[in-house]
């Protein structure tokens, strides 16, 4: 992913445009793309600040975090519930969530599921004890 250009460069470009230079000539003078200059000037005019907005990161998990109590409560009530069943539970409450989004929420809260049954006893290799 590309890195944001410095605020110093942005300020100099905007000063040149505010001083009467066209956006294209300012772009050529400072070695940036004309579209970047157009966007920087638009941001400066609308907000008064040409600084870059934060890049990357999760922008959507807060939607599911609002329903974390419901999901965690369902897992507490039925520990072997599947992610698909959690999706259906959320759909019943009017929330559409992908399999991965539900899985990531569970992962963030430290919940993991091992659905594979334990191995059968083996004479040559020690195995984990069977539950119960």
**Number of domains comprising the chain:** 2
Q: Is the pTM of this model over 0.85?
A: no
Q: Could you give the C-alpha distances from 130 to 49, 90, 126, in angstroms and in order?
A: 63, 33, 12
User: Is 118 contained in some domain?
Assistant: no
Domain that holds residue 15: 7-47
User: Is 53 contained in some domain?
Assistant: no
Q: Does 16 share its domain with 42? A: yes
Mind listing the pLDDT tens digit for each residue in 91-114? Answer: 999 999 999 999 999 999 988 766
User: Is 131 contained in some domain?
Assistant: no
Q: Does 104 share its domain with 76? A: yes
Instruction: Write the CB contacts of 109 (distance below 8 Å, at least 6 apart in sequence).
Output: 68, 72
Flag the least confident range among 3-7, 27-31, 41-45, 70-74.
3-7
User: Is 123 contained in some domain?
Assistant: no
CB 118 within 8 A of CB 131: yes
Report the first-to-last Cα separation within the chain, whole angstroms: 50
Mind listing the pLDDT tens digit for each residue in 47-95? Answer: 999 898 888 877 778 889 999 999 999 999 998 888 999 999 999 999 9
Q: Does 65 share its domain with 104? A: yes
Q: Among 127, 129, 85, 131, which residue's Cα sits nearest to residue 106?
A: 85
Q: Does 36 share its domain with 67? A: no
Return the ∠ at Cα 120 (arms to 119 and 123), rounded to 5°.
115
């Amino acid at each position: 992913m590309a890195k944001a250009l410095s605020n110093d460069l942005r300020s100099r470009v905007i000063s040149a445009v505010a001083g009467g230079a066209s956006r294209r000539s300012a772009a050529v003078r400072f070695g940036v793309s004309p579209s970047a200059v157009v966007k920087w000037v638009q941001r400066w005019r609308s907000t008064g600040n040409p600084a870059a907005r934060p890049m990357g990161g999760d922008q959507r998990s807060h939607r599911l975090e609002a329903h974390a109590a419901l999901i965690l409560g369902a897992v507490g009530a039925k520990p072997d519930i599947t992610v698909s069943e959690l999706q259906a539970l959320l759909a019943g409450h009017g929330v559409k969530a992908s399999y991965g989004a539900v899985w990531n929420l569970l992962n963030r809260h430290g919940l993991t599921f091992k659905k594979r049954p334990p191995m059968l006893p083996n004479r040559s290799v020690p195995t984990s004890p069977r539950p119960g």
